[in-house]
Structure 1
Amino acid sequence: MRTFDYLRADTVAAAGAEAAQPETRLLAGGTTLLDLMKLNVERPARIVDITRIAGLDGIAVSANAIRIGALAKMSKVADHSDIKAAAPALSESLWRAASAQLRNMASIGGNLMQRTRCMYFRDPGAYPNCNKRTPGSGCAALNGVNRNHAVLGTSEACIAIYPGDFAVALVAFDAKVIVQGATERSIPVDEFFLLPGQTPHLETRLAPGEMIVGVEVPRSAALQRSHYLKVRDRTSYEFAAASAAVGIEMEPDGKTIREVRIAVGGIATKPWRLRAVEAALKGKTLDEATLRAAAASTVDGAKSSGHNAFKIDLAPKVVARALMTAGGIA
């Protein structure tokens, strides 16, 4: 690990000013940053501790929206009674994401900013060729062991998945990331994360000197009737082989789908919204055959790199199962 200077910021403005400096990283829970520093993937010269900034750990649930501060702990948000009632998928995506110890440390803002678990990215000593870590060096995963890599949103430069769960639920329900630099602005979560293209080292739309201060999720009937399903190699504390955040709003007849929201994780380079599947289900009868038929297009355009071909078969089944659970017909 590189030797670094440690600073502490008491305001968002001070943190932003420090973050604009070269080779500087912000520290909240540290559950991702410190790991990457130990691996020599992240090598900042300066660390700015933002945990003392007041007012960034609140949770507010109003009639129209849910607002969560960037420094709110994952465990606090997952256990919040109003969020459990108004947005089950948000709570589920958080408590399924990590161990209790990590959830007690990790912040919501840090969770969104976590970086890929691609083993080639995380081992610079053994694998110097990683475009996400060293632009232009190549992608070792393309011809390597790529079982846990993406089949959607990939490029010839990178096939690493986005590993998080919470962001998948946020994308499904049109949430916005609130960021602050010289001014405050909001970015739809679906636009906040970038596709790798030829610049996989650029992962979000955060500008130099900006930091996440919160997320805002509009309340809806679909969010209230939502579910987050995570399929993985073991039943706890593992990253998703495929996951789905879904929500359903029904017509008064109780049989016809009025509105549906779907996003998937574990299979793409960013949280992946399934708008075509949503459109195919609106106005349709809620039954297993209809859901499975629509879910088949989950992986339209998917590209296998070899070992990860199973995700193309798995993902539509995960989406259909999540929809059946949310719809009460599982």
Structure 2
Amino acid sequence: MREFGYQRVGDVAEAVAVLGDDPEARFLGGGTNLVDLMKTGVERPARLVDVRELPLGQVESTADGGLRIGATVTNSDLAAHPEVRRRYPALTQAVLAGASGQLRNMATVGGNLLQRTRCGYFTDVTVACNKRLPGSGCPAVEGEHHNHAILGASEHCVATHPSDMAVALTAFDAVVCYETADGPGELPLADFYLPVGDTPHLETALPSGALITGVTLPPAPVAARSRYRKVRERASYAFAIGSIAGALDVRDGVVHDVRLAFGAVASRPWRAREAERSLTGGPVSADAFAAAADAELAAAKVLPHNGYKVPLMRNLVVAVLTELAEEAAR
């Protein structure tokens, strides 16, 4: 591990200024991903700027009926918050599915959004990886890729994004708030993660030196009846091989509103907008749910060992929406 400095900051302006003066510094929240990557040599910051004491640890209702979640809110506190559980139950379920209690007690909302892929080629500095070393190649395409992307990938990178929380936030149109030396800014989560293209090393649209200060969830009545379902290769805590955040509003047997986002299928949380369009205004049935999933997954490009994700995600869509429809009918 590279020797590094450590500095604790007391306010947002100081944090942004420190990073502006030292481009090799990194913000430190819970450190549950960053410190691991420092140990393997993937991340080599010259200084860690500890932001855990910043006044960004609250979950608050907004004037329009949404929620504002501070960047240093721990995953445990987020999952347990009564308003999150009531208004966005899929978000609570996603956070609880994401890691053990010990990790949730440390991990922060801001850090969760910025966590990096667990692709074995990315985390091994002895092999090539376009995400880690641009232009070096993507050995996963011809190598180990059974848990890699089927949507939105390119020949330059087929890694997947590891966050469960971000999948649920994507389904509910979350907005990322940040601070720079030039002032505050916002990015819809749909625009926060960059497409892979030929620059997989560029992962987010966050401006250089920016500090995430929070996430805003707009009011979404449909989210009150929502669910997160995660499939993994072992019952203990593990990264998803496929996951879905779904919400459904049914009126008189017709889909009035629906939200769907997929996890573990792309380099970013995947909003299933084609499936949503297919369902909205249509009947509630298993056949309609399956057809919507097929419409979304028609763009899938599979590799020799990850094609199983197409029927897996299809089945997840049908199962979750069927359960939500049955709840609505009670």
TM over 0.5: yes
Q: What amino acid is aligned across from residue 85 of structure 2 in structure 1?
A: K
- Partners of 1:178 and 1:184 within 8 A in 2: yes
- Find the aligned partners of 2:312 and 2:278 in 1 and give their Cα distance: 20
Q: Count residues with an aligned counterpart.
A: 325
- Find the aligned partners of 1:70 and 1:76 in 2 and give their Cα distance: 12
Q: Identify the residue that residue 299 of structure 1 maps to in structure 2.
A: 297
Q: Report the 3-state secondary structure (helix = DSSP H, G, I; strand = E; otherwise coil) of the residue aligned with 2:170.
A: helix
Q: What amino acid is aligned across from residue 108 of structure 2 in structure 1?
A: S
Q: Deviations over 1:33-60 (max 9, x none)?
A: 000000100011111111121x200001
Question: Which structure 2 residues correspond to residues 1-330 of structure 1 after superposition, within 5 A?
Answer: 1-20=1-20, 21-53=22-54, 55-62=55-62, 64-125=65-126, 127=127, 129-181=128-180, 182-251=182-251, 253=252, 255-328=253-326
- TM-score when scaled to structure 1? 0.96
1:329 positional shift: 6.0
- Find the aligned partners of 1:61 and 1:248 in 2 and give their Cα distance: 23
**RMSD (CA atoms):** 1.3
- Partners of 2:290 and 2:314 within 8 A in 1: yes
**Identical amino acids, percent of aligned pairs:** 45
Q: Deviations over 1:138-191 (max 9, x none)?
A: 111111110111011101111100110111111111110001112111110010
- Partners of 1:280 and 1:294 within 8 A in 2: yes
Q: What amino acid is aligned across from residue 242 of structure 1 in structure 2?
A: G
- Find the aligned partners of 1:312 and 1:299 in 2 and give their Cα distance: 7
- Find the aligned partners of 1:60 and 1:250 in 2 and give their Cα distance: 29
Unaligned runs of 5+ in 2: none
Unaligned runs of 5+ in 1: none
- Find the aligned partners of 2:155 and 2:139 in 1 and give their Cα distance: 11
- TM-score when scaled to structure 2? 0.96
- Find the aligned partners of 1:16 and 1:265 in 2 and give their Cα distance: 31
- Find the aligned partners of 1:218 and 1:11 in 2 and give their Cα distance: 26
- Find the aligned partners of 1:99 and 1:256 in 2 and give their Cα distance: 39
- Partners of 1:178 and 1:214 within 8 A in 2: yes
